[in-house]
Amino acid sequence: MPEIWARSIQVPKQSSELEKHVIDKCELMEVDFHWPRFVGKNGRIDDHGQYRKATVLQVRTKQGAQGWGMSEKMPKSLVDGLLGKPLSELISPDAGLNPDLPKAFDFALHDLMGIVLEKPVYELLGTKGNRENPVYSGMIYLDELNADNPSKSIDRVLDNCNWDVEYGYRQLKVKIGRSGRWYPHDKGLEKDIEVVRAIYDAFKGKGVELLVDANDMYSLEDTKMFLQGVRDIPLFWFEEPFREERASSRDLRKWMNANGFSDTLYADGEARPDHDQCMALAAESILNVYLKDIYGHGFTNWRGLMPELKKIGTWASPHAWGSLLKTYYTAHLASGLGNIVTIEGVTCFSEDIDFGDYEIKNGKLITSSAPGFGMKLLV
């Protein structure tokens, strides 16, 4: 028996219903999904492709309830450690996942808890936020560089923006950082400015907001030069200009405040963040939006982090790139706890997953009110 199950598990008895339900089946499986189009390069990573797989965990109780969620490959012995356990020992509405359990169980058990209690996850979190929340498309990449676009025209980028706006998005996050890897430095910076200007001109007056994301491929000076190049364009946020660092981040925020970008949010903390440094920057009102990944950090851990961010006046927007599952998990966090300024939207389609009755309408993501996370496996 793994050591994790040899320890005594002490979880307050939150619900007689959770005590009644005993785990009798756990299964890891892979599901297929795809994005609506080929996704190319960002400033740091080569082509992302289109067709993907995700590992999910399905959990069933003897009483017939079944939940599932995004997970990861792990030893069968660890998964089988859930067998025979009352659900009340594994998770609770007020605290989330038992801290002795790996976060790979987090989403499946939250889903199962909601199904057993016949409530959407956001209600279990307290419904402190809104059911409708802003959502942005996270799929505007350096698509002029795609292999099937021999002219290298930025019309491909504009076409993708138009698709996303027609789909319902009213915020577009535009990947920049071309100067770091794919272009000569000055040419890349020039192209970033050209692309953002072209998108702004195409959608000006249509209620579309722009976010930009350099994936840590700029220097402080690059960041200022880019902002000078788009100085008449209102930006909702600037994400990951460079690796989080106290002096450079402080300098940038001060420069932005003095040069017409005081309303532009500075968002960071996605890629291998130094948590203590990010929280210190947030406490100084330098970092405005914290981006830790919804899966990488864990749903329960995000439940614990949100009150800390609220206390210091910092927004959250958990990184959700890769899968629509992560987008919808974030939606429940937003509806349940509030304090999420916008949600990363990752449009996906799948024959293995029924994504439920979520809807993007006029730039807002409407969270499903079905029990659990409101999605079903079709395999």
Cα–Cα distance between 219 and 242 in angstroms, integer?
6
pLDDT tens digits, residue range 71-113? 999 999 999 999 999 999 999 999 999 999 999 999 999 999 9
pLDDT of residue 92: 96
pLDDT tens digits, residue range 164-178? 999 999 999 999 999
pTM: 0.95
Let me know whether 342 and 264 are in one domain.
Answer: yes
Residue pair 263/237 in contact by the 8 Å Cβ criterion: no
365 is written with which tokens? 């993501």
Cα–Cα distance between 182 and 187 in angstroms, integer?
10
- The DSSP bridge partners found for residue 340 are 316
Domain of 19, in residue numbers: 3-118
pLDDT of residue 16: 85
What is the residue type of 269? G
Instruction: Tell me the average pLDDT across 259-275.
Output: 95
In a domain, 124, yes or no: no
Let me know whether 189 and 69 are in one domain.
Answer: no
Q: Is the pLDDT of residue 285 over 60?
A: yes
pLDDT of residue 15: 65
Let me know whether 136 and 260 are in one domain.
Answer: yes
Instruction: Tell me the average pLDDT across 343-360.
Output: 98
What mean pLDDT is reported for the chain?
95
Q: What percent of the chain has pLDDT over 90?
A: 94
* CA within 13 Å, CB half, 50: 6
pLDDT of residue 272: 86
Question: Mapping DSSP to helix (H, G, I), strand (E, B) and coil, where does residue 130 land?
Answer: coil
Let me know whether 358 and 247 are in one domain.
Answer: yes
Cα–Cα distance between 31 and 185 in angstroms, integer?
40
pLDDT tens digits, residue range 360-374? 999 999 999 999 999
Let me know whether 200 and 161 are in one domain.
Answer: yes
Q: Is the pLDDT of residue 5 over 50?
A: no
369 is written with which tokens? 């009110």
**Overall domain count for the chain:** 2
- DSSP letters along 139-206, please? EE--GGG-TT-TT--THHHHHHHHHHHHHT--EEEEE--GGGTTS-HHHHHHHHHHHHHHHHHHHTTT
- What is the total residue count of the chain? 379
Q: Is the pLDDT of residue 2 over 80?
A: no
The DSSP output letter for 22 is B
Q: Is the pLDDT of residue 4 over 90?
A: no
In a domain, 275, yes or no: yes
181 is written with which tokens? 């890897």
Confidence of residue 11 (pLDDT cuts 50, 70, 90): very low
Residue that wins the pLDDT comparison between 60 and 14? 60
Cα–Cα distance between 333 and 96 in angstroms, integer?
12
Q: CATH number, domain at 111?
A: 3.30.390.10
Q: Residue 341 contacts by C-beta under 8 Å, 6 or more apart in sequence?
A: 134, 265, 289, 315, 316, 317
